[in-house]
Amino acid sequence: MPDSIPAQETKAITWREHLYEIIFEADTPAGKVFDICLLITILLSVLVIMLESVDSIESRYAKQFGFAEWFFTILFTIEYGARIISARRPLRYIFSFYGVVDLLSILPTYLISFYYQDSDQIHRLAVIRAVRLLRAFRIFKLGHMLSGAAELRAALWATRSKITVFLATVVIAVVIEGAALHLIEGPENPGFSSIPEGMYWAIVTMTTVGYGDVTPETPLGKCLASIIMILGYSLIIVPTGIVTAELAHAGNKLKSGIITTQVCPECMREGHDPDATFCKFCGSHL
Amino acid sequence: MPDSIPAQETKAITWREHLYEIIFEADTPAGKVFDICLLITILLSVLVIMLESVDSIESRYAKQFGFAEWFFTILFTIEYGARIISARRPLRYIFSFYGVVDLLSILPTYLISFYYQDSDQIHRLAVIRAVRLLRAFRIFKLGHMLSGAAELRAALWATRSKITVFLATVVIAVVIEGAALHLIEGPENPGFSSIPEGMYWAIVTMTTVGYGDVTPETPLGKCLASIIMILGYSLIIVPTGIVTAELAHAGNKLKSGIITTQVCPECMREGHDPDATFCKFCGSHL
Amino acid sequence: MPDSIPAQETKAITWREHLYEIIFEADTPAGKVFDICLLITILLSVLVIMLESVDSIESRYAKQFGFAEWFFTILFTIEYGARIISARRPLRYIFSFYGVVDLLSILPTYLISFYYQDSDQIHRLAVIRAVRLLRAFRIFKLGHMLSGAAELRAALWATRSKITVFLATVVIAVVIEGAALHLIEGPENPGFSSIPEGMYWAIVTMTTVGYGDVTPETPLGKCLASIIMILGYSLIIVPTGIVTAELAHAGNKLKSGIITTQVCPECMREGHDPDATFCKFCGSHL
Amino acid sequence: MPDSIPAQETKAITWREHLYEIIFEADTPAGKVFDICLLITILLSVLVIMLESVDSIESRYAKQFGFAEWFFTILFTIEYGARIISARRPLRYIFSFYGVVDLLSILPTYLISFYYQDSDQIHRLAVIRAVRLLRAFRIFKLGHMLSGAAELRAALWATRSKITVFLATVVIAVVIEGAALHLIEGPENPGFSSIPEGMYWAIVTMTTVGYGDVTPETPLGKCLASIIMILGYSLIIVPTGIVTAELAHAGNKLKSGIITTQVCPECMREGHDPDATFCKFCGSHL
């Protein structure tokens, strides 16, 4: 096996393989430069969308925003095309999570240009473009260089069964509490006119957000709300304990492991060990 | 002992014992299918009650909801009957926690049909039906398959003495804080007109819910409230520490143990080890 | 040493020493009964004060409350006298924390009877009686039976230097944040008219209470508030970490030690080990 | 090595070196007295600025506050001069963090005396003086005596990569949530009129502050807000876990090390071990 790897590396690398390394991986200098440029471009594009949504700014710089919008859209379209060309299995990329996000981040601008007649309609659709912000998640491909991300993900994944049990308990508690306060406060308080409204209040209360848009008004309602707050607070601290205990264990386990940014060319998955030669998910050569 | 168990298993199983295994346990395939069906039925029934409480939906689909209501009630009545028949000690089941919840989940619909004269009365009683939501707790019989639930329960149980001391401290702090702010803010602020009102404010503040329906207005009140917030916040983090420390310890202990979903046929309690032959609570054969 | 202790125990116990054991300690059956009775009496007395503060209840049962008030006051006065008589060093008891609380819990009722002329005045003073609630802290003498209380106290005490550093950081952050928002929002927003007002807002925000009675209104203020919330949230999680880490360590250390409820007859301090023969604070014989 | 240190200590100490030890270090008795005096002076000065900002107090004691202001400014100017003189590399001190803070804490008073003409202008500038509060951070030079501060700093520093990944996730979540609620609530609710406004709401909600100045009003908005609250709460507990796990590890490591208050005379950095002879940052002799 140690013989076969150098043998393979001396193979001539085609331009597609070269492009693949730049776009999908961040181990080579060119790949790092590409990812940092992409990160900055995405941040700027998100900033433009954010400023665009503020009416007072939009009315002033409408033209500049329109230009920036098209500039970023064309840039991301070229990038999307390059990804499809360089990927060994283009269809897998297209239907992977990041493939769908990449497409969704360029589609709205093209869709708007087709329905240009009614200006009000455009404004409404422009809001939908915000979904494009999801592309910012690609930053985490860089994040992989930080060993912290992998460790966090592993610890959170290890606690999934406990977190599920906990969330189920919270949801059941929310339903019962919402129904109880609807029963008590319902007739007098418009904020508790139905069980779903009561559940909204219960969630706002149990997560300690406490907007105050819906509050109990009757003495019995206040009394029950107080009990819910104290018990709810006791309940909601549990996941903190779960995650912390897991992280304390994980800290020992994962401290030795450094994870590369290599993406499997077959199944597009990440998280391979630095000494891995084959993808641990699909078995194809890395 | 290893001889006696196969010997017992070869005994002829009556239909009642078969029914018992399906309804009360989730180890056999039939038992799992039953539990999943029950879970879906309960979720649907809860959803119907929730939608029923929304006036705009209720006025439209009143008939359909009435039908669904009776459908679920009859289904759960049959299930309740089957549980009584199959249980080895029916009275123990009836007065167990789940037995009472099972009865409460079907009773309101029957009670309503007796008082059918006044439609307003019915609507009021319909709200009481929400107690039936408690039946959703039976989901946790499935939850036992996740080892997480047992671990969580064990860790929380181990911290009960510390949590009790902590809750007692919080309650005393709430009484004193409520009285102090009633004393300071009382004359000017209607939100602090009595000690119980002040205690409601103290709980809302110390749990960091902070509705804002009652807030201090005098400089002295604001100053004291600030100290309560900082000290209160320091106080309320303590249980997080307690639970986390316990979970970190428990994580090591319980990682090896897998707990079965077997329910003791005598005392209806759960949480037996997989190699247990006798119930650890009442000593009867499992 | 094992010889000297039985020798001492055979000494004739005077009635004062007997009274001391009943009132100040909870190790003997008589002492436990006394403490539980005291606990119930205090709870009832607190309940009476709470209900008294509600105007609608007070106006109805004013006479009964007045009687209950005097009943509890006389009972606690007798108890206070018994404590002074039985204590080996009465002055030390009187000026100890619990001694002062015991006095404060009976004084207001006597003071009121002197100023009986103006009924409005009485009502005002009645509120001051709420300080008597502090006596409920004596419950923790019972709490000592729970090993949890001692463990918690030890862990919290061990973290005092870190908690002090943390609280100092929070206070400085609150001053700077309050001044910054006073600077930005001050001219337009009456809720930020002075630095102390800004500090009140900063504390309400950093402890995540968030009443909403004072909120930033300018874009710059909202932007700064958002940064304060995220950084503040990151800051406030630190003590949780500190306490938890300490509790995890303490859990190992203290699991073996059981602490008695013995109170030193000389210095009135608690927390002695079960095998202690002499007070660890003042060296006198237990 | 044990020979060389006493040899160096017998060297004649000049008055500048003596001044340096008093002002910059807290190991000698004179240094400690200086630091405590400085701490009290800063606290008093901060208190004066705070009270000055309250209009009702300012209008009464304007003269006294003006005098106190100049008294503290001159005191801190003398101290600033002494620091420049005694520091081995004055320029390094001036451009160090504390050097800049020291200058900023005296500058505003001098600037105000130049623009004395317009009284309204002065009032505005007076608010800027609040930046001087930053000087209170110098208290932490004393804080070094507490080993807690160093431990905390080390633990927080060790978690920087994980906290960065976490904060990035939160910021992305906030952008997407803000855009989503702007999309849903925007047309009807003025509180969600732009994406930045939606982001402000998302931060207020995810940090569980929950002012209630902006709340969702449509059923879909409330539903999405509920999911954001539960998921957001689950997300925000992660850093608690990270910090706690790190502190639990750090507790074992750092328990042995006591850190001195020595400041490197060359690079002005702190945190040297007690047995260090050379600065670990710049290599110069301590």
CB-facing half-sphere around the CA of C164: CA atoms within 13 A: 14
- Rounded to whole angstroms, the Cα distance separating C211 from C232 reads 16
- Rounded to whole angstroms, the Cα distance separating D75 from D34 reads 13
| Residue C84 reports pLDDT greater than 80 | yes
A140–chain D nearest CA distance, Å: 8
CA angle D34, D36, D40 (to 5 degrees): 115
| Residue C224 reports pLDDT greater than 60 | yes
- Contacts (Cβ under 8 Å, ≥6 apart) of A213: A191, A204, D212, D215
- Rounded to whole angstroms, the Cα distance separating C262 from C281 reads 13
User: Does the pTM exceed 0.90?
Assistant: no
Nearest Cβ partner for B240 among A183, A232, A241: A241
Which residues of chain C are within 8 Å of residue D172 when distances are taken between CB atoms?
none
Closest alpha carbon to D194 in A126, C89, B281, B15: A126
For the purposes of burial, counting CB atoms within 10 Å of the CB of C164, is it exposed (0-12), middle (13-18) or buried (19 or more)? middle
Sorting pLDDT into bands at 50, 70 and 90, what band is B236? low
Does the CB of B277 have a partner CB in chain A at under 8 Å? no
In A138-171, which positions are buried (b, 16+ CB within 10 angstroms) versus exposed (e)? bbbbbbbbbbbbbbbebbbebbebbbebbebbbe
Reported ipTM: the value is 0.71
Chain A: partners with 3+ C-beta pairs within 8 Å: B, C, D
Maximum distance among all alpha carbons in chain C?
80
The beta-carbon contacts of D41-46 under 8 Å, at least 24 apart in sequence, are: D41/D72, D41/D75, D41/D76, D42/D135, D42/D136, D42/D138, D42/D139, D43/D136, D44/D68, D44/D72, D45/D72, D45/D76, D45/D132, D45/D135, D46/C175, D46/D132, D46/D133, D46/D136
Q: How confident is the model at residue D98, as a pLDDT?
A: 72
Q: Which two tokens stand for residue C216?
A: 């930033």
- Rounded to whole angstroms, the Cα distance separating A96 from B105 reads 45
Closest alpha carbon to B206 in B184, B185, B179, B178: B178
Q: How confident is the model at residue D109, as a pLDDT?
A: 73
Q: Between chain A and chain B, how many beta carbons pairs sit less than 8 Å apart?
A: 128
D116–chain A nearest CA distance, Å: 37
Comparing A184-198, B69-83, C189-203, C239-253, the range with the smallest average pLDDT is C239-253
Calculate the alpha carbon distances from D202 to A55, D91, D175, D180, D240 in Å.
20, 45, 8, 10, 20
- Contacts (Cβ under 8 Å, ≥6 apart) of A210: A204, B204, B208, B209, B210, B211, B212, C209, C210, D208, D210, D212
Higher pLDDT pick, C207 / A139: C207
Does the CB of A165 have a partner CB in chain D at under 8 Å? no
Nearest Cβ partner for C128 among B172, B183, B244: B183
Q: Which two tokens stand for residue B41?
A: 């039925």
Comparing A61-65, C111-115, C219-223, the range with the smallest average pLDDT is C111-115
Mean pLDDT of B23-41: 74
Mean pLDDT of D65-86: 85
Tens digit of each residue's pLDDT (9 = 90 or more) over A239-267: 777 777 776 665 544 443 334 445 666 66
Q: How confident is the model at residue B258, as a pLDDT?
A: 38
Q: How confident is the model at residue C94, as a pLDDT?
A: 84
Beta-carbon separation of B175 and C127 below 8 A: no
- Rounded to whole angstroms, the Cα distance separating A206 from C212 reads 18
- Rounded to whole angstroms, the Cα distance separating D250 from D159 reads 11
A230–chain B nearest CA distance, Å: 7
Supply the DSSP symbol for D238.
Answer: H
Q: How large a percentage of chain B has pLDDT more than 90?
A: 1
Beta-carbon separation of D212 and B212 below 8 A: yes
Does the CB of C244 have a partner CB in chain B at under 8 Å? yes
Calculate the alpha carbon distances from B4 to A170, B88, B237, B278 in Å.
44, 21, 52, 13
| Residue D129 reports pLDDT greater than 70 | no
Higher pLDDT pick, D266 / D44: D44
- D89 close to D59: Cβ distance less than 8 angstroms: no
Q: Which two tokens stand for residue C118?
A: 């103006």
| Torsion angle, alpha carbons of A94, A98, A102, A107, to 10 | 70
Nearest Cβ partner for A210 among C210, C244, C248: C210
> Which residue type is seen at B178?
G
Tens digit of each residue's pLDDT (9 = 90 or more) over B46-86: 888 788 778 788 788 878 887 888 888 888 888 888 888 88
- Rounded to whole angstroms, the Cα distance separating B89 from C46 reads 46
